[in-house]
Structure 1
């Protein structure tokens, strides 16, 4: 297991200074309080579980850096308190996440836990955070949970990308069936279930031989040839997929060279995130995908957020993962400020429930009372060329989900 460490050490001082220069950028409208009593204020530790090596290194780094950007823009403070981000290894097995979470909760005494790429990690540590009455304020996806008293998510429920995209795919594929494929881990199964259930409820038909999505072993699949051959044999009129990071790069490139390259490929937005597009190249051009954020959204909060990110991390395009982790920090900033002079994790959790509507780079959103996940707009994007570079361009709104 990678030892927990303060994430500030991972951010070059020059970048912190650039970001600190932008402290006037308050994407959530209300910043944390600062009464000038820093020497007396309680230091707040936030634990982050993420993946910083292997096939999910890119989104893992984005989780860390999005949260850190918010801290750097506010002088390393949340809710008027000095704040420290302590990073633990999420790993690729929920057992690793539990081990890391145990250290964060029992040794580091964190006031909240954030991050987590795999929804299985959220489910695995959930009993532990409930026991300690410490909120999870996650910045990526998670599965549906029956008890969300201490669970809040600033990005999405894992089924939602497929739910948002299914009506558009049904509209586009007027005749024939759609082959659905994704990786065999918790988030992958959730993502494809959301699409398959919604698509078939709308009268669509899956081309998969079993009538259910096909899942490739994760993260070890490097050859998608057998799956692409099966798609060809299925008679599908189109393909819908969810993959992320290296799997997304590999699948899209192999699809473009396969015998089914003439079929339209529709996707969850994570398939064509900016870190993957340079390697996917021409193979990604034209792919329609759905997500809750795009860096070209035209609103004041997003313009400020993108400017701050570009100043701190030149050459890297902000993603939905960056945005949601930034928003997780903003949620904690406001909640900690509202939770009193020496806020306990339980008080912070209560304060989150009273935040109401929030202003974000994605547009206005709020936590749903029943799921504690965002009620938010979803956007249809298409990969298009901007000069030599490929980028996701917002085409239209898909739906408002949540609640």
Structure 2
């Protein structure tokens, strides 16, 4: 597969079709908005690779149509995402958009999505939205990791206090709000000043020592955090060398995903974290997915981001097939609404009618040693969220 860069847009390839009716099938263009450079490039590559894996497993087709996947840069500022979405919708005339790392950029491009009536099948997190007519997400709502973990943390710390910390961008604020609101509603107490989470500069904070000193001074009995891949590495390693290294560290599952875990090493061992997926889940869809991923990307462990982007392709596959011979974006959107329960590596799930996000199980994981390697092992279910 040859990648070609055209005017800042990466075209990952158009599958060739051979013979008869397949040769006559309409080519479907799918736009992917994701980070192609900078600190968010690692999750950006996971979004691309997860979607592409599904395409490769099905001969480059979705719903019986050859697919052209066009990748545009998300950037960090909303203006970059808006520019990319405008080009995909008005010049490339895509039938659907997927990807998007920063949930704030979902809200930024929403007017364009609604104007063009093209479905957005996002594959990471997003904030709550009042209008989700054309917005669907295959991963999670940004508050949910914290909501899922809060009851477990409250059970563990009992009457102790917890210091909550994360990055100052839309996703980080949502993640911490989910934890803080749920934890305090359950009777939990925060060690944070004024009972509010502490936020670190984003996209990059490299020196967390002042924040760790602040945690030490607060008298906290435990820590809860969410960070992106690069910051997760720095925070966990510096935590392990800090005056609060003896405190239990609880986290959203993104903190200990494989891209970070390899760098964190022994400092991450024992961390409890919550997420909607783990590669050790024992079901047929996950075994197929993990085997295909391992063959395509040796040495890389599939993450929840990879899984959700793979599932975004699966959603579009079924919807395009159901939308008729020459599916319009509106017909694809209508078909997504009628999909019902989906089979996935995470287990069965379906879109909630009110939020267009998954109704799904959440899992408590702990970083444990598996031979020489550290991995996230599923300990138990945290419950079902969504709806």
Scaled to the shorter chain, the TM-score interval is: over 0.9
- Whether 1:3 aligns to 2:8 is yes
CA contact (8 A) 2:165 2:176 kept: yes
- Write out aligned runs for 1:175-190 (5 A): 175-190=159-174
Q: Please point out which of 36, 39, 56 is paired with 2:23.
A: 39
- Whether 1:353 aligns to 2:358 is no
Q: Please point out which of 229, 232, 246 is paired with 2:216.
A: 232
C-alpha distance in 2 between matches for 1:199 and 1:98: 35
Gaps in structure 1 of 5+ consecutive residues:
10-15, 17-33
- Whether 1:290 aligns to 2:236 is no
- 2:303 is aligned to 319
C-alpha distance in 2 between matches for 1:356 and 1:346: 18
CA contact (8 A) 1:2 1:89 kept: no
C-alpha distance in 2 between matches for 1:169 and 1:183: 20
C-alpha distance in 2 between matches for 1:120 and 1:86: 21
Give runs of ≥4 in structure 1 deviating > 2 Å: none
C-alpha distance in 1 between matches for 2:340 and 2:204: 42
- Whether 1:372 aligns to 2:377 is no
Please list the CA deviations of residues 302-356 of structure 1 after superposition, one character each: whole Å capped at 9, or x if unmatched: 0000000001111100000000000000000000000001000000000000000
Q: Please point out which of 198, 205, 212 is paired with 1:214.
A: 198
SS of the residue corresponding to residue 190 of structure 2 reads coil
- 1:343 is aligned to 327
C-alpha distance in 2 between matches for 1:262 and 1:167: 22
- 1:86 is aligned to 70
When normalised by structure 2's length, the TM-score is: 0.96
CA contact (8 A) 1:7 1:64 kept: no
- Whether 1:262 aligns to 2:246 is yes
Q: Please point out which of 101, 109, 113 is paired with 2:93.
A: 109
How far did residue 58 of structure 1 move?
A: 1.2
How far did residue 153 of structure 1 move?
A: 0.3
1:369/1:36 Cα in 2 relative to 1: closer, same or farther (>3 Å)? farther
**CA RMSD in angstroms, aligned pairs only:** 1.4
Q: Please point out which of 119, 140, 145 is paired with 2:129.
A: 145
When normalised by structure 1's length, the TM-score is: 0.93
SS of the residue corresponding to residue 217 of structure 2 reads helix
SS of the residue corresponding to residue 171 of structure 2 reads helix
- Write out aligned runs for 1:8-87 (5 A): 8=13, 36-87=20-71
C-alpha distance in 2 between matches for 1:341 and 1:73: 22
Gaps in structure 2 of 5+ consecutive residues:
1-5
How far did residue 6 of structure 1 move?
A: 1.3
How far did residue 8 of structure 1 move?
A: 3.7
How far did residue 36 of structure 1 move?
A: 4.9
SS of the residue corresponding to residue 178 of structure 1 reads strand
CA contact (8 A) 1:90 1:100 kept: yes
CA contact (8 A) 1:8 1:68 kept: no
Count of aligned pairs: 380
How far did residue 71 of structure 1 move?
A: 0.4
